[in-house]
Structure formats: C-alpha cells, structure tokens
Amino acid sequence: MQKISGKSVQNGTAIGKIKVYTKIGTPVKRIHVNNAVAEILRVEKAVNQAIMDLQNLYKIAVNGAGEDSAAIFEVHQMMLEDEDYNDSIRNIIEHENVNAEFAVARTNEIFSDIFASMEDEYMKARAIDIKDISNRLIHILTGEEENILSDLKEKVILIADDLTPSETVQLEKSMILAFVTVHGSLTSHTAILARTMNIPALISVPIENINELDGKIGIIDGKEAVLYIEPDDNTIEFYEKAVLEEEVQKKLLLELRGKPTVTSDGKEIHLCANVGNIGDIAFAQSNDADGIGLFRSEFIYLGSKDYPTEEEQFQMYKQALQLMEKKKVIIRTCDIGADKQVDYFCMDKEENPALGYRAIRICLDRVDFFKTQLRALFRAAVFGSLSIMYPMIISLDEVKRIKEIVSEVQTELETSGIPYAKHVEQGIMIETPAAALISDELAREVDFFSVGTNDLTQYTLAIDRQNGKLDSLYDKHHRAILSLIKMAADNAHANGKWIGICGELGSDLELTKTFLDMGIDELSVSPGMILKVRKRIMEL
C-alpha cells in the first residue's frame, strides 16, 4: 500500500478504480527511417481511416445536434484531402527521411502558423482545424488513445497531471468518483468543479510515474488530504465505513431541501448556485438552489470547437431559464482569458495573462463577438427571469460603454422585429480592488453587485490563483479583502442596490456570520455546498 499526501480542495471519501488521464499532444519524436515509401503508405492509410472516422462522426452529429453543428466534420474531411497539406507531409518524409508522425506534426506547425497569421478573423480561426486534423492523424499513426474524458465506461478516480477548464468541460461527470491532480491550486477550476459535483478532490499530490497507477485501486481521504494506492484490507474496511457515514450525513442535509434560508432572528438570505453549463443545473435543482447566482457562460465557449452562434447560445440560455422555471438566473457574459483559454480566439501569448486581455476587455474590443452573446441573452430573457452580469470591471467608462452596446443591440432587435426582453436586470462583478474602491460610483449605474472573491483575492493580495506554490499565502480571510467587500456592500445599499457573493468565499462557513452582518443579500455557492450553508445560516 502506498500513501501520498497532497492538498484537499473538497472533503469526502472515495474508493474505486484509478483512471489516469495523460494529455494528448505529447511531443512527437523525430525518427530516422530508411524506407520513406513505407512511411508515405502509412500516412495514406491514416488519412483514409481519419476520413472514415469523420464520416461516422458527421452522421452521429447530424442525428444528435443537426446539420449545422455537424458541418465541421465535413470541413475536416475536405481539409484532410487537401493536396497542399498532403504534399507537405510527403515532401518532409522523402527529403528528411523521417517518420510519418513527425512529418504530420511539422506540417501542422507550418499550416497552422500560416492560418494564424492571416488578417481575416475567419481564416485565422482555421488554425485550430489544422491542429485538429493533424492530431487526429497522429493519434491514428501512434495508436494513442484519443480522449478518455468523454468516454469513461465505469466510475473512476480520475488522476491527471493537471486539468485545464477546457478538459474539464469534456468530462463525463457521472463517471467521476474523485479528482486527484499532481499540480493545480486551491481556487483552480478543477477545484471549483469538484465542489460543484460535491466529490472529493486533492491537488498538489506528488505522484511519480503517474501512468503506472492506471487500473489500480485507490482511496481518497479528502479530509486528511491523502491518496492511498492499492490499500490493504484494514484500510479498505475503515474507509468503507467512512463512505457509509458520509451517506448518512448527506441524507440529513437533504432534509433541509424546501426549507427557507433564514436565520433564527428572521433574516432571509437568497441562496443560489454557481454553474458552468446546463448539465450543472441538475445539481443546483437537486440541492434546492433559490436560483442561479453565477452561470459561467465561458464554459459554453470552452466546450465548442468554434465560436458558438447566436442561435446556439439562445437555445442554451433559454433552456437554462426554462429548467429553473421562474427562479432567477444570473448569466455572466464570457469571461475568457487567464486560465480559460480557447484556441479559436487566437489570442497572443501573454507574460501575465491574469492581468491581461480577458473577460470584458475582450468583449469591449471585439464588439461583434460581444453583441452576438448579448443578442442571444436578451432574446432568451423572454423565457424566464434572467439577469446579466459583466466580469472584470475596473472603471465607470467600461460600464457606460457596455450600456451603449446594450442599447445598440436592443435597437437592432427592435428594428428586426425579433422578440426580446426590454427590462433585464444588469449587474457587475466586484472582483478587482478598483471596482470595490469606486463602488459608490458604480452602484449608481448598475442594478446589482456580485463579489468574485477568487479574483478579488488574487488581485488584492497579488497572488496568482493558479500558482499552487503560493497557496499558503492565499489568505482568504485577509482584512483587506473583507474591507473591500464591506465597502462594496455599504455602497450598494446606500444606492438601493443589492449585493451578493459568488466567489468561493461565499461558502466559507467561518465567514457566513460576517457576511450576514455586512448585510450581504445573496450567497451563490457550488451546488454541493448549498445545504451546508443553509444549515449554517439557520443556526445563526
């Protein structure tokens, strides 16, 4: 039995088979070959195989999502048949006497660079398609497993080096018992996802030879932050009892469903859920959320191969509103950037992405892209109780510019005779110290505030939330952060506006009383935390 300690990001116990996820795209080796003709034949066979796979994917996608969504697979087939692309691979094999995989990888670099450097936004975005078809060929040539994330057949403890937000969106969540990552930080999105799903998760677990664990039995003790590999019988027996006890505790908490979130002296709090996609709404409902306090819409972009269209977004937002019936749903506009990178956005590499081109900064720069989302949101708002929230605000000018764009969008919808909601509550995230410090001015311009404590902590304490080495300095209870929240709360209330907290701190039970004393009107937490926070509030 092996016992390895890490850091816990979500309590709980899990026992099960380990599945190791290693990233696709491990560097392709350059190998000298004597028989170039044989290598060229291998490529031709791989291209044929890839085209057949794409034809199958096309059929599945047409049935599942319609012709528009399936069209990408036809485009990929055409690209795979492109003469220039195939000639390049052949030439590299013939002239350099190298293996087929290397020639495909080299061709990928050349062609995707050409597309990425094009002026036209549409052509620029095709770089990702080149990467996609090249990866497909490389997987066929190497026989490497393509993607286990969306194709898990049994419940597993998922162990990975690290998981990016775009990898987490592919996960077949019903098959995950727990997460373990070798890297990662306390507020990374893997941690947030584990809290959403209410399953144990450990980060910073120093596992050597991660691949050797695949298929072995593991136990996660989220409380003690320990991973056991191939546990002995006594350990299994001990943790089986813990799992049963946790089930009992969960059942007790479930009795709080349907009860109002009210303190013993009668103060009622709006207790909502944070979600990343439509699928998470089921977690929000089963934990009796009063509404959705944060719908991270960027996960729709992270889960797409190309910009989601207005129609696709409209359908998703409408579905979210309908699933929540008449309850309020706050959808945050796209918060891409920093740790949430999307290839087809073709963004330059930055020295300090967290302080860089992200969120509202992209939206106010790429206005057409922003308007597509706004149109979808205002159209969907007809079907329920929608509020829109804008992330990463630092100035009054940004809010004024957003209002101008919103009014243009509404005029365009009006002129085209497309139904939309005229009055939609609109608020901003307070997640930069600047926003908190000028919250008196901002409160006059918006309908509500929601405090994003994850970023507010990062920017106030100058601590990169992705850097696990700094976790010990990430003092969530720092007086500076609590003072900024209090300042924003006072300014919101002085202007007759409401304020919520949607960052992870909102579910910190040690601070629930402090937040109530500040007059915070809404807490929006991971679905798995709702009933625990309700219990705490009822006890106050």
- The catalytically annotated residue of 189, 272, 334, 363 is 189
Q: From ligand PEP, Mg ion, none, which one binds at residue 342 (CB under 5 to 8 Å depending on kind)?
A: none
CA 491 to chain CA centroid, Å, is 31
Q: Is 147 annotated as a binding residue?
A: no
Question: Is 502 in the active site?
Answer: yes
Cβ 228 vs Cβ 207: under 8 Å: no
List helix spans (H) across 447-529. 453-461, 479-494, 512-518
Establish if 452 lies at the interface with Mg ion (CB under 5 A): yes
293 contact, one of ligand PEP, Mg ion, none, CB 5-8 Å limit per kind: none
Q: Report the distance separating Cα 307 and Cα 294, nearest Å.
A: 21
CA 407 from chain centre, in angstroms, equals 29
Eight-state DSSP code of residue 145? -
- Which CB, 503 or 528, lies closer to ligand PEP? 503
Q: Which of 168, 196, 453, 491 binds ligand PEP (CB under 6 A)?
A: 453
332 labelled binding-site residue? yes
Q: Closest approach of Cβ 276 to ligand PEP, in Å?
A: 9
Question: Of 113-121, 141-149, 434-442, 450-458, which segment contacts Mg ion by CB under 5 A?
Answer: 450-458
Distance, C-alpha 360 to centroid of its chain: 17
Cα 390 versus chain centre, distance? 17
261 binds ligand PEP (CB under 6 A): no
Tokens of 310: 């207005």
| Per-position x/- string for 393-432, each x denoting binding to ligand PEP as judged by CB under 6 A, each - no binding | --------------------------------------x-
Q: Is residue 12 near ligand PEP by the rule CB under 6 A?
A: no
189 in catalytic set = yes
Q: Any contact of residue 455 with ligand PEP (CB under 6 A)?
A: yes
502 binds ligand PEP (CB under 6 A): yes
Q: Hey, which residues does 178 pair with through a beta bridge?
A: 157
d(CA 104, CA 134): 6
Of Mg ion, ligand PEP, none, which one sits near residue 280, judging by CB under 5 to 8 A according to partner kind?
Answer: none
Name the minimum Å distance from CB 472 to Mg ion. 22
Q: What whole-number distance in Å separates Cα of residue 45 and Cα of residue 58?
A: 20
Task: Examine residue 98 and tell whether it contacts ligand PEP (CB under 6 A).
Answer: no
Q: Which does 503 bind (CB under 5 to 8 A by kind): Mg ion, ligand PEP, none?
A: ligand PEP
Q: Is 440 annotated as a binding residue?
A: no
Q: Could you tell me how many residues make up the chain?
A: 540
- Whether 454 has a binding-site annotation, put simply, is yes
Determine the interface stretch with ligand PEP among 145-153, 197-205, 278-286, 452-460 (rule: CB under 6 A). Answer: 452-460
Q: What is the DSSP letter of 259?
A: S
155-174 footprint of Mg ion as x/- string (CB under 5 A): --------------------
DSSP H or E segment with residue 181: strand 176-181
Taking the C-alpha atoms of residue 136 and residue 147, their distance in angstroms, rounded to an integer, is: 11
User: What is the maximal distance between C-alpha atoms in the chain?
Assistant: 83
Transcribe 262-315 into DSSP letters: B-TTS-B-EEEEEESSGGGHHHHHHTT-SSEEEEETHHHHHT-SSPPPHHHHHH
How far CA 255 is from CA of 171, 242, 252, in Å, comes to 30, 21, 5
Q: Could you give the string, one character per residue 275-314, with x where binding to ligand PEP holds by CB under 6 A and - elsewhere?
A: -------------------x-x------------------
Name the residue number minimizing CB distance to Mg ion: 455
Total of residues contacting ligand PEP (CB under 6 A)? 10
Q: Residue 385 has which token pair? A: 């109780």
- The answer to whether residue 455 forms part of the interface with Mg ion (CB under 5 A) is yes
To 10 degrees, what angle do helices 67-80 and 36-65 make? 170
User: Under the rule (CB under 6 A), what is the footprint of ligand PEP?
Assistant: 294, 296, 335, 431, 452-455, 502-503
Q: Which residues are annotated as a binding site for Mg(2+)?
A: 431, 455
| Residues with active-site annotation | 189, 502
User: Under the rule (CB under 5 A), what is the footprint of Mg ion?
Assistant: 431, 452, 455
